[in-house]
Amino acid sequence: MVGSVTWRRGEYFTGSLDPVVLAKAAVSVLALVLAFGLAQSGPRPRLGTASLWLLGVVLGSSVFGALSSGRLVAGGVVGVRVAILGATVFFLLRSAPAGEVLTAIAWACGGIAVVGSVTGLPSLASGRLAGGIPAMDPNELALLAGVAVTFLAWRTVLGHAGWSAAVVGVYLLGVLWVTGSRTGLLMLLAGIALMAVQIRRARVGLVVGSLVLGSLAAVAAVATGVVTGFLARGGDGTSTLDSRFIAWRAALTWATSGWEQAFGGGLSVKIIRVTGQYWETQPLDSSWASLLVQTGVVGLVAAAVWVLWVFRGAVLAPRPQRVLFLGLLVFLVGRSILESGLFDATPAFLLFLAVSLLAEGGSRGRLRTEAQEVEPGAVGRAAGESATSPLPAAPG
């Protein structure tokens, strides 16, 4: 996880090497070696591989696009970083139960979010909380906090969370709030709502606590106008969304040749040139606009099919994992519309790939076994749900 978060704010890799780039590369390679060693030393739970083929299509398109547009060094390096991260996730899931791996990832996200928020307190002077150590931007800090909150919500739905989890969740929600990430908060609430409707029998303490906290939050929001201030975020209102539209329109006409239109310019392209404005360049603040520029139509279509396929697999997963998978997917995919990084060497991609690998038809057998340990009787219910489901089994 440490190797997937950014260590510097506002800087993009262009192909040059420096101590930070080399250090991150060393951490990523070390993580891969350790994960491979764990996968070889113990039992190997069954895991599907179709996700890796889809990842290969996206990465292959980006590398070919980088080659044809003269950006092979920078684009190739970023592609290798994504491949290393993908391989690390695969080997980790081959070395331990899915629940243990996902729990470790969630703890890592929460831990880094706590450290980053505490060390980044001075950044509040600018209006938004950013990470201090490591030096993350506000949206990435919000992502890590949101992942940890989603995991705590999952534990709550399964009836395994106590008041200590509520305290941690409130703190992380506060971190997300002061980052000013409106998209992150909205998608987190949507994901939690989808998880909440899957509660079978809510405990009295959970219902009472939720009603009390909800009432207090509503009163505070009305009395202080904090929600209006959060949406306005320093007075920029909808200007950031308008700015994104400018970059998205530019992405549609970015390609200068048929090759670039089909395969893009490589994953290293993070900034696009815009016209008709008083500024000349702008970051691609959307994973999907980024894909169009970085991987072309081929990579964009492959990624869209991939996302739909993962959602389908998540719906077919046993209940304990289905609750978590759907909550995470709504949060990650929803925020990817306005924020970049879903298909890059980032924590968002790490989580997405982990869910994708586990939601495959070739992995659901192990999930049913693990679901029995998490929620007794889940295997029988999952089998009954599969028998009555109108959807065919996903390919492994």
* pLDDT score recorded for residue 227: 52
Q: Which residue has the higher pLDDT, 239 or 12?
A: 12
Q: What is the pLDDT of residues 342-366, one digit of tens each?
A: 999 999 999 999 999 999 988 888 8
176-177-180-184 Cα dihedral, nearest 10 degrees: 50
How many domains does the structure of the chain reveal?
A: 1
In a domain, 396, yes or no: no
- This prediction has a pTM of 0.86
Mean pLDDT calculated for residue range 172-188:
90
What percent helix, strand, coil does the chain show, rounded to 5?
70, 0, 30
List of residues 6+ apart from 303 with CB closer than 8 A: 54, 58, 288, 291, 295, 343
Share of the chain above pLDDT 70, in %: 82
Task: Please determine, for residue 41, whether its predicted confidence score (pLDDT) is greater than 60.
Answer: yes
> Residue 253: pLDDT band by 50, 70, 90 thresholds?
confident
Q: Which is nearest to 195 in space by CA: 159, 160, 150?
A: 150
In a domain, 142, yes or no: yes
For residues 20 and 7, give the distance between their C-alpha atoms in angstroms, rounded to a whole number.
8
In a domain, 63, yes or no: yes
Q: What is the pLDDT of residues 69-122, one digit of tens each?
A: 888 888 888 999 999 999 999 999 999 889 899 999 999 999 999 999 999 899
Range of the domain at 71: 19-388
Q: Which is nearest to 86 in space by CA: 353, 379, 295, 265?
A: 353
In a domain, 11, yes or no: no
Q: What is the pLDDT of residues 254-310, one digit of tens each?
A: 888 888 899 999 998 888 888 777 778 888 888 999 999 999 999 999 999 999 999
DSSP one-letter code for 271:
E
In a domain, 89, yes or no: yes
In a domain, 395, yes or no: no
* pLDDT score recorded for residue 388: 35
List of residues 6+ apart from 200 with CB closer than 8 A: none
In a domain, 267, yes or no: yes
Task: Please determine, for residue 383, whether its predicted confidence score (pLDDT) is greater than 50.
Answer: no
In a domain, 310, yes or no: yes
* pLDDT score recorded for residue 238: 47
